[in-house]
Amino acid sequence: MAEMHLLKTPFLLLLITITSLSLFGCGDPVKAQIEQQLPITEQRVAQLGDALSNGQVRNANLINQYADKVQVNKAHLTPLINEFRKDASIDGPMYKALLDRVSTAKNQPQMFDSSQALYNELLNIYQAADPVLYSDALSDPLNVLADMSDGQLPRINSLSKAQSQRANNAQDFGTGEQLIGNPSYGNWQTGSNGMSFWAWYGMYSMMGDVFGRRTSYNDWGRSRNYSYYNDYGRTRYSSPGQLKKQNSLDTRTKKSFSRSGQKFTSPYSKNRTGSSSLSSQSKTAQTSANRFRTNAVKKSSYASKSKSKNSSFRNSNTNTSRGFRRGK
């Protein structure tokens, strides 16, 4: 019996070892990364909320200062101005979008094509919540307020409208054009004629009513001017679903033009000229955006971000409160 026991013991050890290795091999290593990254991303978004509430995000502070100045001369636009004040707080559409994306990643993982897509979304949110990067992203609504001042207030992190328009041979799509294409402020709607037009959300529709005109995707796509979101922040400040919708509209428009023997150049095919004094974080985001454009037609377009970029964002300085002046 002792000999039988000695024979069985090595066999049992071998069986346990093989079973353990088999289970390890069947596991998804990305899921372990997700479990580690999720609380880190949640904490980062919460810290951004604290920074906004405590006045530690530079361009958020400038939004309030610009809003005060614009309201003096354009009191009839107070409802719209107050909407832009929200961008300086946790009630702004960009910050709320980050919260929604975290919630989706945490509670609806089945919404993602793969574990890798979910993990990369968590990295994107983490990077987007960097207060320095977020401050740069706020330059778009901030510069809408600058344009509303009729030249009294300078644009921040951006060339003047005239300079940028000349550099890009761009059309003038009216005050608020920096926000066209940004899903935090509106969306593209396709009419019965197959044409897509920009539709503002809620109070932002005042921009189309007061300052601008109806903007078609066909015109905007070919002749848009610079904006932070479209040229630097799109892959950070859009959910995977929003990016898919943008790419789908772009593909559909190209096919429509092709059937008419024409060529449509994607609004995301190249960066427009117009940025000024952006942070190193935004320059890193631009590199990632260029990579995204190269791989946009591939199903695995979300899998190109690396942990090394994530660590570079984690080490960034979060104290962004500065004075009322241009640049950083």
What distance lies between CA 50 and its chain's CA centroid? 20
Q: Is the pLDDT of residue 3 over 60?
A: no
| pLDDT tens digits for range 286-298 | 665 555 444 444 4
> What whole-number distance in Å separates Cα of residue 139 and Cα of residue 128?
14
Dihedral over Cα of 202, 208, 209, 211: its sign: positive
Q: Is the pLDDT of residue 254 over 90?
A: yes
Dihedral over Cα of 273, 275, 279, 281: its sign: negative
Q: Is the pLDDT of residue 66 over 50?
A: yes
- Among 25-39, 97-111, 226-240, the least confident range: 25-39
The pTM for the full model equals 0.80
pLDDT at 26: 53
- Report the C-alpha dihedral over residues 268, 272, 275, 278, rounded to 10 degrees: 30
Residues 217, 197: contact at Cβ < 8 Å?
A: yes
At residue 311 the predicted structure's pLDDT band, cuts being 50, 70 and 90, is very low
| Selection from 283, 316, 288 nearest residue 157 by Cα | 283
